[in-house]
Amino acid sequence: MITFEGVTKRYGDGTVAVDNLSLQVPTGAITVFVGPSGCGKTTSLRMINRMIDATEGRILLDDKDIRQIDPPTLRRGIGYVIQQAGLFPHRKIVDNVATVPYLLGWDKKKARARAMELLERVGLDTKLAGRYPFQLSGGQQQRVGVARALAADPPVLLMDEPFSAVDPVVRTSLQDELLRLQSELHKTIVFVTHDIDEAIKLGDTVAVLRVGGHLAQIADPSTLLAEPADDFVEGFLGKDRGIRRLSFVPAGGVAVRAERDVPGWSVVLDGDDRPLGWRAGGSTGPTDTQAAGKDGLLPFGTFDLEKDSLRAALDAALLAPSGCAIAVDGDGRFAGVVTREALDEALLRASGAAGPTGAGSHG
């Protein structure tokens, strides 16, 4: 566990970056620091590994004051991931990943074997091990950065806006990869972002900081969305926080029709029962099919009935011309249709179930 006790960082010109911060970062979970520019989230992160020293207060790592630990020793026991990976451009990927094991005195064979293992773990082809950073895409470089941070198996991982420099598709992939890794490794992770959606998706606990380095609220994402502490937190969460709350309501409780047909529309499947699109038909169906592709099919949305949230089901319905969502199983095969009426009923139930006592999950 990482504990902040009345931590303040004041610079020589009088600027206060962090002001009397007190909070706990639970062991084996992801805690996200989120807030606008100038709120002290990166400063708070860097004080954990003493890249910046606090002016007042204490930071404890498993009940030991970090000021009693030599900074280089402390940092070798804490993984650190930053924007744009920060890889050594003159070193091959395998040696970038093996950086900390080399510093710890591991022999080259053992360090490189660990690096190759981690490249696979973060979803990279080991054929990339012999390349240099400039030969990799931004998303691949970030995965290398995560692998390097994990190389010596540190119990604590600090991540400073690691995914902000990549495009949205790659960013989503990296977020999903981090959650997958965390489900296996159970590290104590402190993650900094300015993106509230990223904070809610990744965080077991979210600490919202306000400008001037004050803690505005710390809570699990579901509680944060349901009960913002004040106007600042409510404004930072945005006007669509009700929609975000649906991310913590499993879609499994929504009523699903096994039939492919709804009034005026039909789901078209391929030979493996995977959805291809909606086809208009029937007396109540629309006649304007300009949006249809060459095969006469219109766009559709799907959600995984077992894994996804009610927010994903609602999104699938909004993407469909029929207004209905297509449910699929874990293999992407058709499981049924969720009508607008069924969604309305589920949303009504969710209005009381998405709060602090409702079901919650990353998603």
- Check residue 352 and give its pLDDT: 61
DSSP letter for 67, please.
Answer: G
Q: Which residues, at least 6 apart from 77, have a Cβ–Cβ distance to it below 8 Å?
A: 152, 154, 155, 156
The two three-digit tokens of residue 280, written as one number: 């208009």
Give the span between the Cα atoms of 76 and 60, in whole angstroms: 17
C-alpha dist (Å) from residue 144 to 75, 108, 119, 253: 18, 18, 7, 39
Beta bridge partners of 73: none
> Which amino acid would we find at residue 163?
F
Q: What H or E segment, with its residue span, contains residue 102?
A: helix 99-103
The share of the chain scoring above pLDDT 90, in percent, equals 57
Mean pLDDT of 31-46: 93
Please report how many Cα atoms fall inside a 13 Å half-sphere around the Cα of residue 45, on the Cβ side. 27
Per-residue confidence at 240, pLDDT binned at 50, 70, 90?
Answer: confident
CATH number for the region 2-248 comes to 3.40.50.300
Q: Any idea what DSSP says for residue 26?
A: -
pLDDT of residue 353: 52
For 281-288, what is the mean pLDDT? 42
Residue 287 pLDDT exceeds 60:
no
Model pLDDT, residue 286: 40
pLDDT surpassing 60 at residue 284: no
Q: What is the DSSP letter of 174?
A: H
Mean pLDDT of the chain: 87
Short-list 169, 173, 219, 227, CA closest to 199: 219
Angle between helices 138-150 and 108-121 (to 10 degrees): 130
- The pLDDT of residue 295: 61
Mean pLDDT on 173-187: 91
Rounded distance between C-alpha atoms, residue 254 and residue 353, angstroms: 13
- Listing DSSP states for 29-63 in one string gives SEEEEE-STTSSHHHHHHHHTTSS--SEEEEEETT
| pLDDT tens, residue by residue, 242-268 | 888 888 888 888 999 999 999 889 999
Q: Which two tokens stand for residue 266?
A: 């039909």
Q: What CATH class is the domain 251-353? A: alpha beta
Helix (H, G, I), strand (E, B) or coil at 268: strand
| Mean pLDDT of the 347-357 span | 62
For residues 154-184, b (16+ Cβ closer than 10 Å) or e, as one string?
Answer: bebbbbbbbbebbeeebbebbbebbeebbee
For the chain, where do the domains classified as CATH 3.40.50.300 start and end?
2-248
Who wins on pLDDT, 336 or 283?
A: 336
Q: What is the DSSP letter of 213?
A: T
Statement: the pTM of the whole predicted model exceeds 0.85: no
* Rounded Cα distance, 192 and 42, in Å: 7
Q: Is the pLDDT of residue 29 over 50?
A: yes
Does residue 43 contact residue 213 with C-beta atoms inside 8 Å?
Answer: yes
pLDDT digits (tens, 9 = 90+) for 310-322: 989 999 999 899 9
Nearest CA to 245 out of 303, 314, 178 is that of 314
Neighbouring residues of 353: CB distance < 8 A, sequence distance ≥ 6:
249, 359
CB 206 within 8 A of CB 199: yes
* Residues in contact with 348: Cβ distance below 8 Å, sequence separation at least 6, in sequence order: none
215: Cβ–Cβ under 8 A, 6 or more apart, which residues? 21, 22, 23, 207, 208, 209
CATH 3.10.580.10 domain position(s) in the chain = 251-353
